[in-house]
Amino acid sequence: MGNPNLPRRRLAPVTLNLPYEPPYDWSALLRFFAARAIPGVDQVEGDTYRRTFVLGRNQGRLSIAPGTGALIAEFGESKKADVVAAKLRRLFDLDARGKHIAAHLRGDDTLKHALKKRPGLRVPGVWDPFELGVRAILGQQVSVAAASTLAGRIATKFGKTAAKGHATLTRLFPTPEDLAEANLDGIGLTTRRAATVTNFARAVRDHATLLDADQPLDTFVERIADLPGLGPWTAHYMAMRMGYADAFPASDLGVRKALNTTSDKEVLRIAERWRPYRAYATMHLWASLSD
């Protein structure tokens, strides 16, 4: 046994080199995450993304920024390096076959201009699917900024305090167990929205496979859409962020505006040509709205 009087040795920071297939639009991903950052949990500063995290009994903070043909991540937990690497590859869509996807979508006249203007556009991923689900619920019928504020209030009130060491990244996002029986009064949510959050937390707590990304897309969407207060749009949006390349929120107003149609049948007919990469097509449609 070690001498208990000796100070505990701090783990040296770990640096990961995470390559990707170019082109890769890091700036677009940062803008997406910056707009949706949860105060106290994650943030974007300059060209760097930072967040708090928990893995098992370990918690920490990480930062990730662009290198040459790769993203460079740094964090202080060496025992979980492989797990962190896998989660970061999902978060930043680093395993996408970008050239193959672009070649497939470029054959459609609807997307040809968008693909040319924004090569390397990726689908923003997710660190924690439960955090994503809560954030998606909070974003229903409110602005992106308002949803981020609400998420920050929930993290502050119900999330655990992160280890000392950073001025602003001070909270860990609550777990399903933290929110399953939480009283969300005073957060700024409607009664119905608060009930949706707690019901979602209970469902995730009680059904271990609910947010499993290994199940078929249709199964995932059906299970999420069946939860009270959720629905097909939220289910497909979550699926997109969780790595389902063919997820497609057909009812999305931005998608319909970009396609210049309000017909469900027409939207689905057009999108059929984009399979199995409808999630990437959706990102380009959303981006085209700023043109």
Residue 51 in any domain: the answer is: yes
Average pLDDT of span 47-57: 93
**Residue in 53, 129, 47, 123 with CA at minimum distance from that of residue 92:** 123
pLDDT band at residue 4 using 50, 70 and 90 as cut-offs: very low
Q: How many domains does the chain have?
A: 1
Element (H, E) at 45: strand 42-45
Q: What is the pLDDT of residue 141?
A: 86
- Which CATH number does the domain housing residue 64 bear? 3.30.310.20
Q: Which residue range(s) make up the domain with 105?
A: 14-109
Residue 70 clears pLDDT 60, i.e. is over it? yes
DSSP assignment of 118-146 equals STT------S-HHHHHHHHHHTTTS-HHH
In a domain, 140, yes or no: no
pLDDT band at residue 57, thresholds of 50, 70 and 90?
Answer: confident
pLDDT of 5: 42
Residue 67 lies in a domain: yes
Residue 40 lies in a domain: yes
Does residue 179 lie within any of the structural domains?
A: no
| pLDDT single digits (tens) 129-162 | 999 999 999 999 899 999 999 999 999 999 999 9
Whose CA is closest to 59, among 42, 71, 76? Answer: 76
Residue 147 lies in a domain: no
Q: Tell me, yes or no, whether 282 lies in a domain.
A: no
Determine, yes or no, domain membership for 94. Answer: yes
